[in-house]
Amino acid sequence: MSRLGKQIIAIPEKTTITMEGNIVTVKGPLGEISRVFRDSEITINIADTVTLVPKRNDVFSRALWGTYASHIKNMLAGVNKAYEKKLILEGVGFKSEVVGTSLNLALGFSHPVKMAIPEGLTVKAEKNVITISGIDKEKVGQFASQVRSMKKPEPYKGKGFRYEGEVIRRKQGKKSA
C-alpha cells in the first residue's frame, strides 16, 4: 500500500483543479500547469480535496499510485509558490549572463557555451549565482541539472557548478617529497 497515495490532498485557496479525460489541469496565482495521467491505472477523485484510488491491485498500479499523488502535490505547490534552484559557479574567469532567452557561460573552454532557457522558466545570473525558478518542479530540476553538467565541480579546487548547500568532497593534492 502506498503511504503517499492513501493521503488526502488538500486544495489551497485561490487554486482550482480540473480533470478532462486523462488530463489534470491546475490553475493558481502564478499560472497554469497540465499533465497527462494514465486513466486505466488510477482513479483521481476531485471534490474539495483530491483522492487517488488504484483500479487494480497489481504492482504497476500500486507503483503509480504514490507517483501520481506526488505529481499532483507538486503541481498544486508550484502554482502557489514557484520552485527555485540556485547554482553557484566557482572558478577564476568563469562567468555567466542571461541574454534574451539564452544563458551564456564562459567555463574555460575555447568557446562560449550558450544554453536556451526553456519556456516557463525564469533565470537570473548575478555574479557567480544562477537562480532558476518556475512553476514546474521537473523543468526547474532538469534545466538546473543540464546547466550543472556543463562543468561539474572537481574534487581538488571545487571549480565548476554546484547546487546551493551541496558539499563537495575535496581530495588531497600531490605531496612533495
Give the strand order in the sheet containing 23-28: 16-20, 23-28, 31-36
Question: In this structure, are strands 83-90 and 160-163 parallel, antiparallel, or unpaired?
Answer: antiparallel
Work out the mean pLDDT of the chain and round it to a whole number: 92
Q: What is the pLDDT of residue 38?
A: 85
Distance CA 63, CA 78 (A): 23
More confident residue, 142 or 5: 142
The pLDDT value given to residue 1: 63
- Give domain 83-163's CATH architecture: Alpha-Beta Complex (3.90)
Q: Is the dihedral of CA 46, 52, 57, 63 positive or negative?
A: positive
| Residue (of 50, 66, 61, 53) closest to 8 by Cα position | 50
pLDDT for residue 176 is more than 80: no
Q: What is the pLDDT of residue 177?
A: 65
Mean pLDDT of 160-166: 92
Torsions phi, psi for 65 (to 5 deg): -60, -55
Confidence of residue 114 (pLDDT cuts 50, 70, 90): very high
- Give the pTM: 0.90
E strands, 9-111, are 9-10, 16-20, 23-28, 31-36, 42-46, 49-54, 83-90, 95-99, 102-106
pLDDT surpasses 90 at 50? yes
pLDDT score at 175: 81
Q: What is the mean pLDDT of residues 53-60?
A: 90
**pLDDT at residue 131 greater than cutoff 80:** yes
pLDDT above 70 covers what percent of the chain? 99
Mean per-residue pLDDT, 137-151 = 95
**What residue ranges in the chain does DSSP mark as E strands?**
9-10, 16-20, 23-28, 31-36, 42-46, 49-54, 83-90, 95-99, 102-106, 113-116, 121-126, 129-134, 160-163
Superfamily of domain 3-78: Ribosomal protein L6 (3.90.930.12)
Residue ranges per domain, the chain?
3-78, 83-163
CATH fold match for the domains 3-78 and 83-163:
yes
Residue pLDDT, tens place only, 58-95: 888 888 999 999 999 999 999 999 999 999 999 898 99
